[in-house]
C-alpha cells in the first residue's frame, strides 16, 4: 500500500511538472506572438483624421514609427474637400512592437510653397531606409488648399537623417502632373522600383525604376485596375501588391514584380464588428516581420448606416487598424474580428 501511494505521488508530481511546462510553453508562445493590438489601433489627437499609414523602425528611438496623412476631420468652417487639403504628416510611435501607439508630432517637411499664398498639402507618405542611417520619403504634394479634386499633384522625394526633419525636395519625373501614392521597394538585384497611382489614366497603377535613387525612369502602366494607395512587399516567395479599391483591399501577386495576377476577392470588403472597424478597410501598409506579415489600414467609422453619406466630422474622421495576414492556397486572407497579436521586430 505504501509503495502504491508513493507511485501515485510520483505520478501526481509528474503531472504537475507537465502541466507547468505546458503553461510556461503557452505563455512563451503568447509572448512570442506579441500583445493584442488596440482596437482601434490609433486615432490622431489633433484632427482625428489619421489615414494612409507608413511604418518604419526607428533605430535611434528603439521604437516603431508610423507616418500618416493628418486629415483635418474636426476642423470647422472648411468647404468641400478642404479638410483633406492643408494636411501635415503626423507621426505616432510604438514601444511594444506595434500593439499600442502614442502621438509624437508632425514631420518637419521643407517643400517650397507652390504659390505665394498657400502652403502645400501633404498626402500619403512612403518612408524607406536606404542605408547608412539615411531615409527617403516619397510624398504626394498638392500646391495649395482646395475645395475640389481638380488640381495638380506630384510625387516629391525628400531626405532625412533623423526621420523628423525632411529636406532636399526633388519632384520626380513621372507620367504627368496628377500622380499620387508612391510605394517603393528594392529588388534583390539592387534596382529600386516605384508604383504609384496615375489619376489621369483612370486611376490605374503605373511604375518607375531607378538604379541609384538619383535618376528615375517612368516604365508605364503596371496594373490597369482602378484604385489607389498601392503597397508592394515581398513575402512567402512572391511579390505582393495591395491597394485600396474603395470596396476593400485588392490583392495582386507576382513572381517578378512585372506580371501581376489579381486575387479573386478583396480583403476587408465586409465590415468587421470591432470598434471603428464596421466599414471597409482602406489605403494599406504592410510590415513583414520575421515570417509574419501585418496589414495596417484606415477606416471611416462614421460612414455606415443611415448617416453614411452625411458630411460631418463623424463621417470625416478616420482610425488606423491592424490585422495579421495569412497565406492560404497561394492567396492572402485575414480575420479582422479575431484579436490581433502583433509583434513587430526591430529592423
- In this prediction, residue 3 carries a pLDDT of 52
pTM over 0.85: yes
Measured between alpha carbons, how far is residue 46 from residues 70, 77, 102 in Å? Answer: 8, 16, 12
Checking if the pLDDT of 230 tops 90, the result is yes
Q: What is the pLDDT of residue 303?
A: 98
What pLDDT sits at residue 90? 98
pLDDT(9) > 60: no
**pLDDT value for 20:** 44
User: pLDDT digits over 40-94, tens only?
Assistant: 999 999 999 999 999 999 999 999 999 999 999 999 999 999 999 999 999 999 9
User: What pLDDT is stored for residue 17 in this prediction?
Assistant: 45
Task: Return the ∠ at Cα 77 (arms to 72 and 83), rounded to 5°.
Answer: 25
Q: What is the mean pLDDT of residues 316-337?
A: 97
**How far is 186 from 208, CA to CA, in rounded Å?**
12
Classify domain 34-342 at the CATH superfamily level. Glycosyl hydrolase domain; family 43 (2.115.10.20)
Neighbours of 95 (CB within 10 A): 13
pLDDT in tens, 13-42: 445 444 544 444 333 444 579 999 999 999
pLDDT at 18: 43
Amino acid at each position: 500500500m505504501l509503495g502504491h501511494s508513493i507511485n501515485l505521488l510520483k505520478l501526481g508530481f509528474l503531472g504537475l511538472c507537465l502541466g507547468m511546462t505546458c503553461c510556461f510553453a503557452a505563455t512563451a508562445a503568447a509572448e512570442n506572438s506579441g500583445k493584442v493590438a488596440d482596437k482601434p489601433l490609433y486615432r490622431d489627437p489633433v484632427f482625428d483624421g489619421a489615414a494612409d499609414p507608413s511604418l518604419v523602425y526607428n533605430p535611434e528611438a528603439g521604437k516603431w514609427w508610423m507616418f500618416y496623412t493628418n486629415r483635418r476631420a474636426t476642423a470647422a468652417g472648411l468647404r468641400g474637400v478642404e479638410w483633406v487639403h492643408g494636411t501635415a504628416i503626423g507621426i505616432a510611435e510604438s514601444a511594444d512592437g506595434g500593439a499600442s501607439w502614442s502621438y509624437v508630432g508632425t514631420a518637419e517637411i521643407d517643400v517650397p510653397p507652390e504659390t505665394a499664398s498657400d502652403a502645400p498639402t501633404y498626402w500619403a507618405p512612403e518612408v524607406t531606409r536606404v542605408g547608412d542611417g539615411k531615409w527617403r520619403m516619397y510624398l504626394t504634394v498638392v500646391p495649395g488648399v482646395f475645395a475640389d479634386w481638380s488640381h495638380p499633384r506630384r510625387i516629391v522625394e525628400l531626405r532625412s537623417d533623423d526621420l523628423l526633419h525632411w529636406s532636399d525636395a526633388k519632384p520626380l519625373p513621372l507620367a504627368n502632373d496628377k500622380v499620387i501614392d508612391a510605394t517603393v521597394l528594392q529588388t534583390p538585384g539592387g534596382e529600386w522600383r516605384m508604383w504609384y497611382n496615375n489619376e489621369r489614366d483612370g486611376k490605374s497603377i503605373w511604375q518607375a525604376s531607378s538604379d541609384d535613387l538619383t535618376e528615375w525612369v517612368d516604365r508605364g502602366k503596371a496594373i490597369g485596375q482602378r484604385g489607389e494607395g498601392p503597397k508592394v512587399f515581398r513575402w512567402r516567395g512572391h511579390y505582393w501588391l495591395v491597394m485600396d479599391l474603395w470596396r476593400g483591399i485588392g490583392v495582386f501577386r507576382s513572381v517578378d514584380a512585372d506580371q501581376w495576377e489579381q486575387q479573386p476577392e478583396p480583403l476587408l470588403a465586409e465590415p468587421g464588428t470591432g470598434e471603428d472597424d464596421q466599414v471597409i478597410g482602406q489605403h494599406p501598409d504592410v510590415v513583414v516581420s520575421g515570417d509574419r506579415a501585418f496589414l495596417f489600414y484606415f477606416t471611416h467609422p462614421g460612414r455606415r448606416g443611415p448617416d453614411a453619406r452625411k458630411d460631418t466630422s463623424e463621417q470625416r474622421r478616420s482610425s488606423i487598424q491592424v490585422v495579421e495576414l495569412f497565406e492560404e492556397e497561394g492567396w492572402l486572407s485575414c480575420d479582422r474580428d479575431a484579436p490581433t497579436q502583433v509583434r513587430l521586430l526591430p529592423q
